[in-house]
Amino acid sequence: MPPKSIDNAFTARSNLGASGDPTYAGALSFMRRRYTKNINGADVVVWGVPFDAAVTNRPGARFGPQAIRRASAIFDNDPQYPFQRQFFDDLNVVDYGDCLFDNGYHAKTPAIIERDAAKLIKNGAFLLTLGGDHFVTWPILKAHAAKYGPLSLVQFDAHQDTWPDDGKRIDHGSFVCRAVRDGVIDPATSIQVGIRTHAPEDFGIEIIHGEDLEELRVSEIVARIEQRTAGRKTYVTFDIDCLDPAFAPGTGTPVAGGPSSAKILSVLRRLGGLDIVGADIVEVSPPYDHADITAIAGSTVAQHYVGLAAERKARG
């Protein structure tokens, strides 16, 4: 246990090391990391995109980054389960704060998100984005593809998000269609996990449906993801509605019949063999949450991303 302190997000002199903030107090950055716009040397940059103007059902995901940061306070100080390590002894993680855009000009928002994402990954930092609705993944994917080339996509979701798109829509249900059409992702090496709805197109992306998850072991799910992505550079996007509403009620388009948080977190824990270049957690909608159930699930997904990054750095 580090010495007691307060407001590590502002008072920390280094990006390394655990904070000593009480769990119930202090500035609520993600996992108490230092708030800073200086990302030089950062291994992981945490960034919020509080945008939810693209939802087709219940709004509120604009409050997702705040809720995820608040829920992440529970992870402070202790060695991180199930990784059995203190991430911040060696992993340089900063909280960059949130993306700024004008809510009166939604047509300009995608370019702003893409521009800022490109800046954050320019020097090789791993970008962990807290959404926001699922539309925000589209410009972030574009920024990553511009740097790394066409990506494999691993999408945890109840929805395929492949609805028709003319390239101008601001819609959280069509970003995969656009990403395939524009060559941002490679459908032949992409996979969707937890799908429990139908869409007009699958574009050749492999699907593990929600009902199949109940029959598959965690090791089998991981094997299918690894086989599909085939060592390619991969972006992981996690829509919290992948989980059954029992485990994530606070989301815009909940769908019954999904997996438990325990099962999907076990899958995430075992994705260290993938070449993951960026990741997000989206669609956490606090107005429909209860007792921070969904925010805790979302922050744990984000914590697992950081854990995988810590292991990757330790392996060199």
* Annotated binding-site ranges for Mn(2+): 134, 157, 159, 161, 239, 241
**286, 295 Cβ separation under 8 angstroms:** yes
Cβ neighbours of residue 139 closer than 8 Å, sequence gap 6 or more = 110, 111, 113, 114, 117
Q: CA separation (Å) from 176 to 76, 139, 145, 162, 218? A: 35, 11, 14, 5, 25
* Helix pair angle (64-71, 293-315), 10° resolution: 70
**272, 312 Cβ separation under 8 angstroms:** yes
Contacts 24+ apart (CB under 8 A), 83-89: 83/269, 83/307, 83/310, 83/311, 85/307, 85/310, 85/311, 85/314, 86/18, 87/31, 87/306, 87/307, 87/310, 88/15, 88/16, 88/17, 88/18, 88/31, 88/33, 89/16, 89/17
Strand partners, 48: 98, 130
Annotation: binding site: 134, 157, 159, 161, 239, 241
Spatial strand order of the sheet with 152-156 comes to 93-98, 44-49, 126-131, 275-282, 233-239, 152-156, 191-195, 206-209
Nearest to 44 by CA among 99, 116, 117, 93: 93
- CA–CA dist 304, 153 (Å, integer): 17
- CA–CA dist 100, 119 (Å, integer): 14
